[in-house]
């Protein structure tokens, strides 16, 4: 009798345990704030999509999916009408209306990290409780891309305590009321974030069935890998290139290497060195670097060798701009330019910012030695590196760029446009490259509402950049996720590197 | 005695002032906190404004004076990342580090003493030679190698023990979150404390062995043998007691090594203690937290060294004789 009770007890406990589906996710970055409007980073976006909802969001195929906005209509060239979902409840129990959208968009325009994206919206007009009109300062083709960052906050919950500040404790940085599929149940800053399924989630078609998610930031690559291999976490990202094989050998695990859109490039500073002013020298340097070999050897075939800035999924991408490797031609160009004997260049790169950044920089230095360019390479942790970067402290600088809008023009604006502090353009143009033609094309692509025309403009910029050897693209950094076999991770990961955990269905 | 303590206190104040100044001066060399705080699309003007509002544009001495006057009233600033007072953040993480260090020291004490004594009493025994060889190896193997071996076998291959974190903790006395009182917590503690002990133990094994050999060769021990005192009394009461004197001194000095190694151990095991906190603060350029950590660690240093001197005073009465050792 006692035995039977015991068995029953064990079974009940086991069953109730089996019914409650939990997922432990090891990530690299720790969340800075519970305020989705405070920090624009992949860690922040992942959190925001879990606890909040944006107006629209990206699908895996690169189209937009209605979320809190059910549909939209372009009223005129600079006005977009949004129709809002009517059955949305925030975690606090308040219902969502147009007021929350007005409140959230105004708040985003005050946020240091987001105002750059949202400032294009001049005015938000409430038509009725579930309709708003967005008036942009000029016709703007990327408004939906921006609205994918428009996470809607509960205006009644935050009323009077809605300040968004970078480095101080605010109400919003410690409390959250969104409309998302999960609510925050536990947070120890820098150690753990636990969220539990929101039983009143508006999206009844959402297939997700995981009851609780635990995000554990683990900084060290090897510790994160050990946690996955030992089964202590169910999902881990990223995985270092050297560990790929280790994961693939394990039959209990699976791995996804998605092509990313972050372009890692070198910038040859023409302001610092007269040699680099000569396009022939810049071309020689490009031809001396074997990008596919870098990807194959250093990144262990993760990532994609790049011959341009726009990733294949971007509008500006040109199929024929491939990486070229031709050391003989490079040496010939050096000879033509009168630098057969070569010269020395300084180079700086980060050592903990991009995937295998330090090893890539070392390999590049070795490749350039073959055409008699001797590189004095220094690498720094990202905290110091970007100070040097801002000072343009070396002849060659490494930079990785992720377009927040997932559009070519964002890269062009920051990396190719003439550097102009007052206009805020070309902030990351450390090459000192400047072309009036490219600048006017960038401005045009920012207003062009005709999609075909816009693609042509973006592609023209990409081609001019290659012809004038403006920058030296190396590779697109891959997005790497690994999980236990039974987790259908493929259904939620995407090119944003922001899995929509709310949609995850675990058998 | 009181004079000694007063002198120590004065020294401590000077040391703390020096540390606070040094930690303040290096802040500027660590990188720009603002760049770490903002997204990539933020304009230079916005960044400059943030820098200004953080007071980072004032002259260094002015910033230091402000810092010092706040510090005297117990305010060591607010962490940029944690958004709370730095002392509170460190206080939250302190138990994790202290428990880890305590367990590591316990393991060191329980292994190094018997091994060292055995190697001294039976110098020709095969085990003694093994102890000497292994301790030499132990001295030269870096901690991350040890830790990774332990993780590889115990966590990844055999899955007996967890590979990271602190596990389940319990709040004791309302402020001390302890991992020592739950089974899960103890399991999590095992690998990090063993790796930490592994790098600390060899030096003690060798020290105890060398010192014990010396004591066993001294006149008073020979006299004790000739008096017919039983072996265990000669070894453990007479010789071992005197062996422990230099061990205490070295132990005090090793606190520095211990703190340095906790940083590494905690990083490898994602142990949520002060060391990991410091590493993360450095990579985020969380300047107030870095300074506060250095000051707190400096204070711990000074306190422990004072304590060691006091213990020494108590264990070795000769030190109390004026003019001894001069």
The model's pLDDT over B183-202, given as tens digits with 9 standing for 90+, comes to: 888 899 999 999 998 888 88
Q: Is A310 exposed, middle or buried (0-12, 13-18, 19+ CB in 10 A)?
A: buried
pLDDT in tens, A477-499: 999 999 999 999 999 999 999 99
Q: Strand, helix or coil at A122?
A: strand
Band the pLDDT of A19: cuts 50, 70, 90: low
DSSP string, B130-162: HHHHHHHHHHHS-HHHHHHHHIIIIIIIS--S-
Domains and CATH numbers, chain A: 21-198+487-503 (3.40.190.10), 259-479 (3.10.105.10)
CA A467, A470, A475: angle at the middle one, nearest 5? 95
Residue A498: HSE in the Cβ half-sphere, 13 Å Cα cutoff:
20
At A382 the pLDDT is 86
Which element (helix H / strand E) includes A348? Answer: strand A343-350
What is the ipTM metric for this complex?
Answer: 0.82
With CA atoms as reference, report the closest residue to A471 among A305, A357, A309: A309
Q: Give the pLDDT of residue B79.
A: 87
* pLDDT for residue A375: 95
Angle A382-390/B274-284 helices, nearest 10 degrees? Answer: 10
Given this model, what pLDDT does residue B324 score? 57
Identify the pLDDT of residue A367: 96
When mean pLDDT is compared across A75-89, A138-152, B62-76, the lowest value belongs to B62-76
A307 vs A321: CA distance, rounded Å = 6
Q: Are A261 and A494 in contact (CB under 8 A)?
A: no
| % of chain B beyond a pLDDT of 90 | 13
CB contact under 8 A, A167 and B44: no
The strand pairing partners of A305, in sequence order, are A475
**Architecture field, domain B90-320:** Orthogonal Bundle (1.10)
Q: Which residues of B183-221 are buried (b: 16+ CB within 10 A; e: fewer)?
A: eebeebbbbbbbbbbbbbbbbbbbbbbebbbebbeeeeb
Q: What pLDDT does residue A12 have?
A: 46
Residue A75 forms contact with B (CB below 8 Å)? no
Kindly give the interhelix angle for A357-369 and A279-288, rounded to the nearest 10 degrees. Answer: 110
pLDDT of residue B217: 87
- Closest listed residue to residue B164, CA positions, set B284, B275, B277, B265: B265
Exposure class string for A162-200: b at 16+ Cβ within 10 A, else e: bebbbbeebebbeebbbbbbbbbeebebbbbbbbebbee
Whether B325 shows a pLDDT value over 60: the answer reads no
Least confident of A88-102, A447-461, B74-88, B244-258: B244-258
Domain ranges of chain B: 34-75, 90-320
Q: Which residues of B touch A222 (CB under 8 A)?
A: 148, 268
pLDDT of residue B43 exceeding 60? yes
pLDDT tens digits for A112-160? 889 889 999 999 999 999 999 999 999 999 999 999 999 999 999 999 8
Q: What is the DSSP letter of B318?
A: G
Cross-chain Cβ contact B83/A168 below 8 Å: yes
**What's the whole-number mean pLDDT along residues A346-368?**
94
**N residues, chain B:** 326
- The CA angle A39-A41-A42, to the nearest 5 degrees, is 140
pLDDT at A15 exceeding the cut of 70: no
Q: Looking at residue B191, what is its pLDDT?
A: 92
- The whole-number pLDDT of residue A4 equals 54
Share of chain A above pLDDT 90, in %: 78
**What's residue B323's pLDDT?**
60
Of B36, B50, B268, the CB nearest to A223: B268
Per-residue pLDDT band at B28 (split at 50, 70, 90): low
Q: What is the mean pLDDT of residues A105-117?
A: 91
Q: Is the peptide bond before A505 cis (omega within 30 degrees of 0)?
A: no
- Residue B277 sits at the chain A interface (C-beta within 8 Å): yes
CB-CB under 8 Å, A230 with B163: yes
Backbone angles phi, psi at B102, to 5 degrees: -60, -45
Contact A498, A46 (CB under 8 A): yes
Chain B residues in contact with A414 (beta carbon < 8 A): 40-41
pLDDT at B321: 65
Alpha helices in A190-326 (DSSP H): 221-229, 244-249, 274-277, 279-288, 291-293
Phi and psi, residue B6, nearest 5°: -60, -45
B148–A222 C-beta distance less than 8 A: yes
Other residues' Cβ atoms within 10 Å of the Cβ of residue A15: 10
User: Over the stretch A410-456, which tens digit does the pLDDT of each residue have?
Assistant: 999 999 999 887 777 888 999 999 999 999 999 999 999 999 999 99
What's the pLDDT band for B30 if we cut at 50, 70, 90? confident
Could you tell me which residues come within 8 angstroms of residue A434 by beta carbon, excluding any fewer than 6 positions away? A418, A419, A426
Query: What distances in angstroms separate CA B163 from CA A260, A398, B172, B270, one per listed residue?
Result: 30, 35, 25, 9
Task: Give Cα separations from A95 to A88, A101, A152, B120 (angstroms).
Answer: 6, 12, 12, 78
- B248, HSE (Cβ side, Cα atoms, 13 Å): 19
Residue B77, pLDDT score: 83
For residue A383, give the nearest of B31, B152, B156 by CB distance: B31
Tell me which chain A residues have a C-beta less than 8 angstroms from the C-beta of B80.
Answer: 167
- Segment B295-323, tens digit of pLDDT: 888 888 888 888 888 887 777 777 666 66
Mean pLDDT (whole number) for A284-291: 96
Query: Ranked by mean pLDDT, which of A144-158, A196-210, B109-123 comes out on top?
Result: A144-158
Specify the pTM.
Answer: 0.87
Contact state of A167 with B80 under an 8 Å Cβ cutoff? yes
Does the distance separating the beta carbons of A227 and B80 come in below 8 Å?
no
Q: Is A344 on the interface with B (CB under 8 A)?
A: no
Q: Using one digit for the tens of pLDDT, what is the confidence trace for A311-334?
A: 999 999 999 999 999 999 999 999
CA dist., res. B87 & res. A466, Å (int) = 53
**B93, B274 Cβ separation under 8 angstroms:** yes
Of A167, A173, A232, the CB nearest to B164: A232
Question: What count of Cα atoms within 13 Å lies in the side-chain half-sphere of residue A464?
Answer: 19
Q: How far is residue B109's CA from residue B107's CA, in Å, rounded to a whole number?
A: 5
Q: Which residue of chain A has the CA closest to B80?
A: A167
A226, A384, A404, A410: which to substitute to probe chain B, counting the most B Cβ within 10 Å? A226
Mean confidence (pLDDT) of chain B:
84
| The predicted structure's pLDDT at residue A285 | 96
Given a contact cutoff of 8 angstroms between Cβ atoms, the answer to whether A374 and A344 are in contact is yes
B265: closest CA among B185, B145, B154, B135? Answer: B145
**Record: contact B155-A226, CB cut-off 8 A:** yes
pLDDT at B326 over 50: no
Q: Which residues pair with B142 in a beta bridge?
A: none
B262-274 per-position pLDDT tens digit: 999 999 999 999 9
> By percentage, how much of chain B surpasses pLDDT 70?
95
- Decide: A91 and A178 in contact? Cβ < 8 Å: yes
| Residue B163 in contact with partner chain A when CB distance is under 8 A | yes
Pairing of strands A235-236, A22-27: parallel
Look at residue A17 and tell me whether its pLDDT is greater than 80: no
| Average pLDDT, integer, range B64-92 | 85
- Test B81 with A32 for CB contact under 8 angstroms: yes
How confident is the model at residue A233, as a pLDDT? 94
pLDDT at A278 exceeding the cut of 90: yes
Residue B84 CA to residue A170 CA, distance in Å, equals 11
Cβ separation A116–B284 shorter than 8 A: no
Q: How far apart are CA B179 and CA B188, in angstroms?
A: 8
């Amino acid at each position: 009798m006692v035995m039977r009770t015991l068995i029953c007890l064990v079974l009940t406990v086991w069953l109730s345990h089996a019914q409650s589906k939990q997922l432990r996710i090891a990530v690299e970055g720790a969340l800075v704030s519970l305020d989705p409007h405070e920090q624009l980073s992949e860690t922040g976006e992942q959190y925001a999509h879990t606890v909040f909802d944006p107006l629209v969001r990206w699908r895996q195929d690169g189209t937009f999916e209605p979320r809190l906005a059910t549909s939209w209509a372009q009223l005129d060239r600079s006005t977009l009408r949004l129709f809002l979902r009517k059955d949305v409840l925030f975690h606090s129990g308040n219902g969502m209306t147009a007021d929350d959208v007005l409140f959230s968009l105004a708040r985003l325009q005050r946020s240091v990290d987001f105002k750059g994206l949202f400032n294009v919206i001049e005015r938000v007009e409430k038509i009725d409780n579930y309709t708003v009109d967005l008036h942009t300062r000029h016709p703007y083709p990327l408004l939906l891309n921006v609205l994918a960052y428009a996470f809607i906050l509960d205006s009644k919950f935050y009323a009077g305590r809605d300040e968004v500040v970078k480095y101080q404790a605010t109400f919003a940085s410690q409390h959250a009321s969104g409309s998302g599929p999960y609510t925050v149940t536990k947070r120890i800053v820098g150690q753990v974030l636990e969220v539990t399924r929101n039983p009143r989630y508006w999206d009844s078609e959402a297939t997700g069935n995981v009851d609780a998610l635990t995000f554990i930031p683990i900084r060290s690559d090897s510790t994160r890998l050990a946690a996955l291999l030992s089964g202590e976490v169910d999902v881990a990202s990223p995985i270092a290139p050297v560990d790929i094989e280790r994961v693939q050998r394990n039959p209990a695990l699976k791995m996804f290497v998605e092509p990313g859109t972050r372009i890692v490039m070198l910038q040859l500073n023409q302001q610092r060195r007269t040699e680099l002013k000569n396009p022939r020298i810049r071309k020689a340097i490009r031809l001396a670097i074997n990008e596919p070999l870098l990807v194959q050897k250093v990144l262990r075939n993760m990532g994609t060798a790049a011959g341009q800035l726009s990733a294949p999924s971007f509008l500006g991408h040109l199929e024929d701009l491939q990486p070229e490797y031709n050391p003989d031609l490079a040496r010939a160009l050096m000879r033509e330019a009168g630098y057969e004997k070569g010269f020395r260049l300084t180079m700086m790169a980060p050592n903990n910012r991009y995937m295998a950044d330090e090893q890539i920089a070392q390999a590049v230095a070795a490749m350039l030695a073959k055409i008699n360019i001797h590189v004095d390479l220094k690498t720094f942790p990202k905290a110091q590196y970007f100070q040097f970067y801002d000072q343009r402290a070396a002849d060659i600088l490494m930079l990785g760029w992720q377009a927040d809008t997932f559009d070519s023009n964002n890269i062009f604006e920051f990396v190719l446009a003439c550097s102009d502090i007052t206009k805020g353009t070309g902030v990351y143009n450390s090459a000192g490259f400047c072309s009036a033609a490219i600048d006017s094309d960038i401005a045009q692509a920012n207003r062009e509402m005709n999609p075909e025309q816009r693609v042509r403009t973006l592609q023209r910029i990409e081609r001019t950049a290659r012809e004038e050897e403006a920058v030296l693209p190396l590779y697109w950094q891959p997005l790497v996720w690994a999980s236990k076999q039974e987790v259908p991770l493929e259904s939620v990961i995407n090119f944003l590197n922001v899995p929509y955990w709310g949609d995850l269905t675990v058998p | 005695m009181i004079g000694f303590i007063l002198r120590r206190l004065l020294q401590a104040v000077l040391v703390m002032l020096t540390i606070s100044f040094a930690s303040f001066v290096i802040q500027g060399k660590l990188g720009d906190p603002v760049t770490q705080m903002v997204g990539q699309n933020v304009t230079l003007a916005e960044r400059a404004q943030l820098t200004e509002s953080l007071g980072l544009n004032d002259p260094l001495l002015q910033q230091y004076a402000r810092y010092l006057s706040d510090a005297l009233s117990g305010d060591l600033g607010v962490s940029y990342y944690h958004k709370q007072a730095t002392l509170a953040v460190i206080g939250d993480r302190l138990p994790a580090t202290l428990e880890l260090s305590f367990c590591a020291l316990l393991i060191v004490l329980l292994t190094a003493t018997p091994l060292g004594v055995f190697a001294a009493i039976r110098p020709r025994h095969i085990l003694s030679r093994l102890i000497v060889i292994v301790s030499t190896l132990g001295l030269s193997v870096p901690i991350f190698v040890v830790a990774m071996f332990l993780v590889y076998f115990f966590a990844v291959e055999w899955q007996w023990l967890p590979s990271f974190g602190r596990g389940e903790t319990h709040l004791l006395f309302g402020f001390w979150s302890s991992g020592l009182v739950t089974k899960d917590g103890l399991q999590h503690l095992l690998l990090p404390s063993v790796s930490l002990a592994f790098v600390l133990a060899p030096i003690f094994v060798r020290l105890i062995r060398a010192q014990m050999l010396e004591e066993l060769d001294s006149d008073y021990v020979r006299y004790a043998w000739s008096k017919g005192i039983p072996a265990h009394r000669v070894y453990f009461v007479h010789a071992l007691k005197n062996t422990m004197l230099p061990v205490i001194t070295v132990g005090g000095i090793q606190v520095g090594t211990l703190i340095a190694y906790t940083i590494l151990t905690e990083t490898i095991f994602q142990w949520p203690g002060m060391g990991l906190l410091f590493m993360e603060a450095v990579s985020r350029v969380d300047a107030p937290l870095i300074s506060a950590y250095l000051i707190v660690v400096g204070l711990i240093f000074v306190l422990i060294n004072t304590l060691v001197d006091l213990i020494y005073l108590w264990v070795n009465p000769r030190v109390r004789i004026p003019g001894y050792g001069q």
